[in-house]
């Protein structure tokens, strides 16, 4: 049976309301809900873990999280974001599965973030629709589960707010069926670079500047579908036409600096065109260890560069 077609039980369960005040800025508490990296650290009760999570932080985007019990049993919560109002409100529709593919219950989660006493007042409202009798005791235990989960959120927010640096490096190679002159132009010409150096669907550029020379600067600022604003600010240090480009850059999430990196592009002749090598060393700041997402994002951009050359 498809879990979406199961009929609700004739059981009325009251909604759950939990509040907690965090000694942290509202932007930071909101950010802890915005990525798989953060949610895997805290979105489960005590003694549980989150081995897998897939988060697409936009309205309609996936909210899929696997919780593993101390006994090793895995329960998936599968849903999607209904509403995202940056720093103030989230609405998530979800279904909690049992050991099989069928849903045990549906839930609607509404989260409000408000500034209070120099920190953040978090209000979690959850309404339940049970689909299976075994869901009833699970739902009745939700207050304790959420209390423990918010304890973990408190620890994650404290970790995010602490001053720290996590270092990471990666190297990505691509071979393009194009000349070195064409690839170099895609890296250094403003019109050519704008064809591939941008955000995903729903990304709206707010500012774009590019001055490719030693000491020159580049800026790309844009708003994601979720409303969050990212800023890329780069300074060029060394340029050898058709051979290499070396630059450093800082990334911002809204007004918060999250990383500083040194990157280089090397262009080499290949049998079928040009081999491009991107090498990057990054310092991720104050809890923004990206768990490899920067490397994956860079790989997607290089794939987009290849498509722009076709």
- CATH number of the domain at 52, please: 3.30.530.20
Same structural domain, 8 and 150 = yes
Place of tokens 């050359």: 309
State residue 188 phi and psi, 5-degree precision.
-125, -15
pLDDT for the residue 155: 94
- Average of per-residue pLDDT across 175-201: 96
Q: What's this model's pTM, rounded to 2 decimal places?
A: 0.66
pLDDT for the residue 3: 44
3-state DSSP: the chain helix, strand, coil percent, rounded to 5?
25, 45, 30
Same structural domain, 171 and 129 = no
Same structural domain, 202 and 266 = yes
Same structural domain, 176 and 302 = yes
- Average of per-residue pLDDT across 255-265: 93
CA distance 160 to 38: 9
Name the domain boundary from 161, 182, 210. Answer: 161
- Average of per-residue pLDDT across 216-235: 92
Structure tokens at 134: 């075994």
Name the domain boundary from 128, 161, 194. Answer: 161
Same structural domain, 215 and 282 = yes
Same structural domain, 177 and 39 = no
Name the domain boundary from 161, 191, 214. Answer: 161
- Residue 227 pLDDT greater than 90, yes or no: no
Same structural domain, 82 and 170 = no
Are 93 and 110 a contacting pair, CB within 8 Å?
no
Going by the DSSP 8-state scheme, the letter that residue 8 receives in this structure is P
Place of tokens 């059981």: 11
Per the structure, the count of domains in the chain is 2
Helices and strands, counts by H and E, the chain: 7, 14
Are 17 and 125 a contacting pair, CB within 8 Å?
yes
pLDDT for the residue 4: 47
Same structural domain, 267 and 132 = no
Burial class (CB in 10 A: 0-12, 13-18, 19+), 215: exposed
Strands, E assignment, 198-271: 204-210, 217-223, 229-240, 244-253, 256-270
Sign of CA dihedral 139, 141, 147, 152: negative
CA distance 288 to 275: 31
Same structural domain, 33 and 153 = yes
Same structural domain, 229 and 243 = yes
Structure tokens at 186: 């895609």
Structure tokens at 95: 């279904």
Same structural domain, 114 and 175 = no
- Residue 291 pLDDT greater than 90, yes or no: no
Are 50 and 67 a contacting pair, CB within 8 Å?
yes
Range in 59-68, 93-102, 241-250, 281-290 the model is least confident about: 281-290
Distances (CA, A) of 23 to 28, 33, 60, 153: 10, 16, 31, 12
Same structural domain, 133 and 177 = no
Integer-rounded Cα Rg, in Å, for the chain is 23
Going by the DSSP 8-state scheme, the letter that residue 26 receives in this structure is H
- Which residues form the domain of 300? 165-309
- Under the banding of pLDDT at 50, 70 and 90, the label for residue 123 is very high
């Amino acid at each position: 049976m498809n879990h979406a077609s199961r009929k609700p039980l004739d059981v009325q369960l009251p909604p759950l309301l939990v509040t907690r005040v965090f000694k942290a800025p509202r932007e930071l508490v909101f950010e802890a809900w915005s990525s798989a990296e953060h949610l895997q650290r805290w979105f489960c009760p005590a003694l549980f873990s989150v081995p897998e999570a897939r988060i697409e932080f936009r309205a309609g985007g996936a909210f899929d999280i696997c919780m593993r019990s101390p006994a090793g049993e895995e329960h998936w919560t599968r849903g999607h974001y209904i509403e995202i109002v940056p720093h103030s409100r989230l609405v998530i529709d979800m279904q909690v599965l049992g050991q099989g593919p069928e849903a045990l219950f549906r839930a609607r989660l509404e989260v409000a973030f408000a500034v209070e006493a120099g920190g953040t007042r978090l209000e979690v409202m959850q309404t339940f629709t049970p689909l299976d009798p075994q869901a009833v005791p699970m739902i009745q235990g939700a207050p304790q589960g959420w209390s423990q989960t918010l304890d973990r959120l408190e620890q994650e927010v404290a970790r995010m707010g602490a001053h720290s640096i996590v270092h990471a490096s990666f190297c990505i190679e691509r071979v393009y069926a194009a000349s070195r002159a064409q690839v170099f132009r895609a890296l250094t010409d403003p019109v050519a670079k704008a064809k591939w150096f941008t955000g995903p669907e729903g990304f709206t550029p707010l500012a774009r500047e590019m001055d490719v020379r030693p000491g020159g600067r580049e800026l790309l600022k844009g708003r994601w579908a979720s409303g969050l604003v990212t800023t890329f600010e780069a300074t060029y240090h060394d340029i050898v036409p058709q051979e290499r480009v070396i630059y450093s850059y800082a990334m911002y999430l809204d007004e918060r600096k999250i990383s500083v990196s040194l990157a280089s592009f090397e262009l080499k002749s290949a049998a079928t065109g040009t081999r491009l090598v991107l090498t990057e060393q990054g310092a991720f700041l104050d809890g923004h260890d990206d768990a490899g997402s920067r490397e994956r994002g860079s790989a997607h951009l290089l794939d987009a560069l290849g498509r722009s050359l076709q």
